[in-house]
Amino acid sequence: MTRPMTIAEKILAKHAGLKEVKPGQLITAKLDITLANDITGPVAIREFKKIGVKNVFDKDRVVFVPDHFVPNKDIKSAQQAKIVREFAQEQNLTNYFEVGRMGIEHALLPEKGIVTAGDLIIGADSHTCTYGALGAFSTGVGSTDLGCAMASGETWFKVPSTIKVEFNGQLKKWVSAKDLILHLIGDIGVDGALYKVLEIGGNTISSMEMDGRLTICNMAIEAGAKTGIIVPDEITKKYLENRTLRQPVFYTSDENAQYEKVITYDVSKIEPTVAFPHLPENTRPVSQAGNIKINQAVIGSCTNGRLSDLAVTAEILKNRTAHPDVRLIVFPGTQDIYLKALELGYIETIIKAHGAVSTPTCGPCLGGYCGILAEGERCISTTNRNFVGRMGHVDSEIYLSSPAVAAASAVLGRIASPEEL
């Protein structure tokens, strides 16, 4: 009789060809998808070529999404993108996404059905943990490990233990998935789940749409987690219907599975939350933010660039304009999201509010371009990290929030709750 297992352990066991696994065990597992972008891809390609194999393990399962410095911002970024482009052409990769077809990788892969429930996925980008929202085990790795995996179709893992987090109750108005994950990180700290799985559940999550679930799992890494994962349910099935390219496998955690600990929250006690510089754990309720003037508001990224994020942004900006001292920059997650937002009038509302709307790209999130901060400037952002110098000058400041708080702050010129409007 096999030991009771969590969803994460079951996925790892299946892909390792084992009946069971337990925390701390070293395994080799077969992969469903490998992913890289225009920063990490060239390094992985170089390592792949060192191995001496001619072809990737599966041209349908090796994915490249240039999204960090694309459209190219300078000669160096153009060279990086060229390496990825030429490798994709040489290997005849099915899933290479050029400008005009691409999106921010962690918004694009679920949308295209490239990742699905039950998958084991690695990506040379720390926010690969996003796909746990679909009921997959998905995690970031270094480019060297990725290069080897592109050749072999497998990699090694140390099986992580799991922390179960339950969010229960009814969300207050303007409180979103972003506020829940910021609240959790503020509670347990940026190393509170170091090399562990965060299994996210509770009745708040079971009634949450996929956009919100993707936001929560995206930021699991900000608590140090190996991945975040949500047990798939009817909302997952509905999202994957007519979308996924491969048959999803719906795993669940056994009732008596062993967790390192269980953390529970009553979400009715959580209000819109802001992470202050210079760590995602430095959180406080927006009502306690004080009078902090901002120079820029960024809405988008792989965390909050989905259609529902643009919907709430447009709702707040309707018949209003950004404060004259604030640059408002909006990044839709994918071309499809951009198009739908256009059709629904969200983009028009944002532009009329004096917002600048970008093609899908990571942009300023990693200090790339399209919104770099100067010395002494402050930005409120729906991105996932606010480390020193993350978005530009080392003497700039980044405050993390939901799209609702970022949009309200853009209008008022200071960190503010939508309630104030």
Same domain, 227 and 313: no
Domain CATH number, residue 34 = 3.30.499.10
Which residue, 226, 244, 264, sits at the end of a domain?
264
In a domain, 31, yes or no: yes
pLDDT at residue 97 in the model: 95
389 pLDDT more than 90: no
In a domain, 311, yes or no: yes
Same domain, 168 and 279: no
Q: With CA atoms as reference, report the closest residue to 380 among 418, 421, 348.
A: 418
Same domain, 20 and 139: yes
In a domain, 421, yes or no: no
Side chain identity at residue 381, one-letter code: S
Structure token pair of residue 94: 């099915």
Q: With CA atoms as reference, report the closest residue to 201 among 233, 227, 175.
A: 233
Q: Give the tens place of pLDDT for each residue, 187-235.
A: 999 999 999 999 999 999 999 999 999 999 999 999 999 999 999 999 9
Greatest distance between any 2 Cα atoms in the chain: 67
Helix axes 75-91, 41-51, angle to 10 degrees: 50
> What is the mean predicted confidence (pLDDT) over 92-119?
95
Residue 361's domain spans which residues? 273-416
Same domain, 257 and 279: no
- Structural domain total, the chain: 2
Structure token pair of residue 275: 């992470």
Round the average pLDDT of the chain to a whole number and report it. Answer: 95
CB within 8 A of 397, min separation 6: which ones?
277, 278, 377, 378, 379, 386
In a domain, 81, yes or no: yes
Same domain, 210 and 279: no
Same domain, 290 and 342: yes
Same domain, 185 and 44: yes
Q: Are strands 197-201 and 162-168 parallel, antiparallel or unpaired?
A: parallel
> What is the mean predicted confidence (pLDDT) over 68-89?
94
- Which pLDDT band, with edges at 50, 70 and 90, does 54 fall under? very high
pLDDT at residue 7 in the model: 97
Q: Give the tens place of pLDDT for each residue, 271-289.
A: 999 999 999 999 999 999 9
Same domain, 175 and 306: no
pLDDT at residue 387 in the model: 82
In a domain, 162, yes or no: yes
> What is the mean predicted confidence (pLDDT) over 306-327?
97
In a domain, 351, yes or no: yes
Partners of 26 in the β-ladder? 158
Same domain, 233 and 128: yes
1 pLDDT more than 80: no
Q: What does the alpha-carbon distance between residue 184 and residue 196 come to, in Å, rounded to a whole number?
A: 15
Same domain, 252 and 339: no
Which residue, 264, 284, 299, sits at the end of a domain?
264
Same domain, 204 and 251: yes
In a domain, 2, yes or no: no
CA dihedral 373, 375, 378, 383 (to 10 degrees): 40
Same domain, 325 and 374: yes
Q: With CA atoms as reference, report the closest residue to 344 among 305, 307, 300, 304.
A: 307
Cβ distance 165 to 199 under 8 Å?
Answer: yes
Q: What does the alpha-carbon distance between residue 325 and residue 296 come to, in Å, rounded to a whole number?
A: 8
Which residue, 241, 264, 287, sits at the end of a domain?
264
Q: What does the alpha-carbon distance between residue 94 and residue 128 come to, in Å, rounded to a whole number?
A: 19
In a domain, 1, yes or no: no
Provide the 10 A C-beta neighbour count for residue 287.
Answer: 12
Q: Give the tens place of pLDDT for each residue, 141-182.
A: 999 999 999 999 999 999 999 999 999 999 999 999 999 999
Q: What does the alpha-carbon distance between residue 299 and residue 301 come to, in Å, rounded to a whole number?
A: 7
